[in-house]
Amino acid sequence: MITEDQFDHIAFPDRWTNFLDLRSAIELFTPFYQLFLTSNDFIRASNSLQLDETIAIYTSQILGTPGHLGLVNNKHPMVPVTTYSAAYRLVLHGLAAETLHEVLVKMKLNKSADGVMMPTR
């Protein structure tokens, strides 16, 4: 899936229901989400958001491109934080994933332009 954006983006409707930002919507959703999980599963889901930094460090070592690590700041992955900041960390998670994807797409395009084809699946 290391490809350029191939999705047709739709325009979101402009209705009275569009009054919440993403973080507020996640904060409202979190207690209901917790009701459908066991306590252990909810804590694991919340703490898994802290893996971004570890994955980014591994990726930067493999690719040899540490420049994109500046956007990843989820604190230390071994020190869990409260679930009250889950919305903030989920937005950071999305930003980190999208940024890493863009870095990989640009690397693939640069290698293709240089005549070195990267394998696709």
**Predicted local distance difference test score (pLDDT) of residue 121:** 47
pLDDT digits (tens, 9 = 90+) for 64-113: 877 666 656 655 556 666 777 778 878 877 877 787 788 788 888 888 77
Residue pair 100/51 in contact by the 8 Å Cβ criterion? no
Q: What does the domain layout of the chain look like in residue ranges?
A: 22-113
Residue that has been written with the tokens 């332009």 in this structure: 113
